[in-house]
A and B are shown apart, each in its own frame.
Chain A
Amino acid sequence: MSRWTTARLVSRTKESDTARTLHLDAPGWPGHLAGQHVDLRLTADDGYQAVRSYSLSAPADGDRIAVSVQPAPYGEVSPYLVEDFPEGADIEVRGPLGGWFVWRPDRTEPVLLVAGGSGVAPLVAMLRARLALPEGPAFHLVYSLRGPQERWFGDTLDSLAGRTEIAVDYAYTREAPPGSARPVGRIQQAELLVDGFTPAQAPLCFVCGPTAFVEHCANALVALGHRPDRVRTERFG
Chain B
Amino acid sequence: MGMQDGNALAGPLSEVFAVDVTAAQRLCPGCGTDSAVGALHVYRMATAAVARCPVCGEIAFRIARHAGALWLDFGGGGALRIPVG
Binding site for B on A (CB under 8 A): 1-2, 37, 39, 51, 53, 94-95, 97-101, 210-212, 229, 232-237
The one of A2, A97, A101, A212 in contact with B5, judged by C-beta atoms closer than 8 angstroms, is A101
Residues of chain A within 8 A (CB-CB) of B5 are 101, 233-235
Please list the 10 inter-chain residue pairs (A to B) with the smallest Cβ-Cβ separation, ordered nearest first: A100-B38, A99-B23, A211-B2, A2-B14, A97-B10, A99-B20, A98-B10, A39-B11, A237-B4, A100-B22
Report how far A229 CA is from B39 CA in the complex, Å. Answer: 9
Distance between A139 CB and nearest chain B CB, rounded to angstroms: 21
The answer for the CA separation of A212 and B4 in the assembled complex, in Å, is: 10
Residue-wise interface mask of B (22-49) relative to A, using a CB-CB cutoff of 8 A (1 in contact, 0 not): 1100000000000111110000100000
Identity of the chain A residue whose Cβ is nearest the Cβ of B14 in the assembled complex? A2
- In the complex, 9 of the A-B residue pairs with CB atoms within 8 angstroms, ordered by the A residue number, are A1-B14, A2-B11, A53-B8, A94-B11, A99-B22, A100-B39, A232-B38, A233-B39, A235-B4
Most chain A Cβ neighbours within 10 Å, of B4, B16, B37: B4
The smallest beta-carbon distance between A129 and chain B, in angstroms, is 18
Report which of A39, A100, A210, A233 forms a contact with B37, defined as CB distance below 8 A. Answer: A100
Is A99's CB under 8 angstroms from B3's CB? Answer: no
Q: Whole-angstrom distance between the alpha carbons of A237 and B23 in the complex?
A: 20
Chain B residues whose C-beta falls within 8 Å of the C-beta of A99 in the assembled complex: 10, 20, 22-23, 38
Q: A99-B22, A100-B22 are in contact. List 15 more A-B contacts (CB 8 A).
A: A2-B11, A53-B8, A98-B7, A99-B23, A99-B38, A100-B39, A101-B5, A210-B2, A211-B3, A229-B39, A233-B5, A234-B7, A235-B5, A237-B2, A237-B8
